[in-house]
Amino acid sequence: MTIIRAALSALCISLNGAASAAGQAAPVRAFTGLTLIDGTDRAPVANATIVVQDGRVVRAGPAMSVAVPPEAERISLAGKTVIPGLINVHGHVNTPQDLLTYAAYGVTTVFSLGGEPPEVFVARELQATPQLTRARVLVSGPVLTPHTVDEARALVDSVARQKVDIVKIRVDDNLGTAQKMSPEVYRAVIAEAHKRQLRVASHLFYLADAKALLMSGTDFIAHSVRDAEVDTDFLNALKARGICYCPTLMREVSTFVYESTPEWFSDPLFLRHANAEWVKSLVDPVRQQATRNNASAQRYKVALEVASRNLKKIADAGLPIAMGTDTGRPGDSRGTSS
């Protein structure tokens, strides 16, 4: 957790003081002596310096090559490692407090894919400031599960009036326990959303649905393919469309990991931000035994193995992967799952 804590420390120190009282110049700060991971494939930079001005990083690199303005306040981060803010492209934000929790773990932006209450929409409108001390959020409103073409169009109209950042649909039968949205209906959602200049993110499970959704114009694969090995046709379709694949492997982990007590339940940072009642319920032996006996949990354990193999095939093919966690559901910690 050292990397995340150091990244957060640098973020909060620089942004909290980025702009002072009206009429005064924003302070310049230089963070020194740190190890810098810049988010590229370059090796970590030892003894690096980061200069922050007006709430933005203006210089970063080896100390010998970064000019520090003489008026800058110098802050030593010796022994710390700093990384760019993490972006969770598939989470769920249920309250503004969730955005503080994400930030505590170094997640500075989260794309919430469904179920946000009005106060999270308000938080989105108030985040265009360098003094922000929480994660930024993008929203999709309610997850759409229409049953008819007319309902599909009406629901898209509804979320468009909410000014969502993306439309989210669910094309899944919950391991055979629910009715799946038909191709005719999800094609209507996609067409109506595109007409309104909105992209569509698709929750899915099955390879056949993933292929069909790509052909129908979905803009984002919001989960792993978990029923079968992805094939050349699917890889070619992803490449042709330039679509990101978001594996959300921790979503599967969260369905079965509480059949015993996870090691992170003793981590002080986790305990500082976790719901104490929720943690207590998950260490209950009766509940853990129920998870071990739960057929769906065990099915998702197998699905994780399939999803992991598919992620490697997609990575080996050089296709774009956007990392997300599906955190915000019951059992998903916005810290350990990120």
**Amino acid identity, position 239:** K
Residues 93-115 pLDDT 10s: 999 999 999 999 899 999 999 99
Give 311 or 17, the one with higher predicted confidence. 311
Domain 2-82 -> CATH class:
mainly beta
- Record the pTM: 0.85
Residues 285-336 pLDDT 10s: 999 999 999 999 999 999 999 999 999 999 999 999 998 999 886 556 666 6
Q: How far apart are CA 8 and CA 30, in angstroms?
A: 15
73 neighbors 67 (Cβ within 8 angstroms): no
Neighbours of 103 (CB within 10 A): 23
Please tell me the total number of residues recorded for the chain in this structure.
Answer: 338
Span 193-213, mean pLDDT?
A: 98
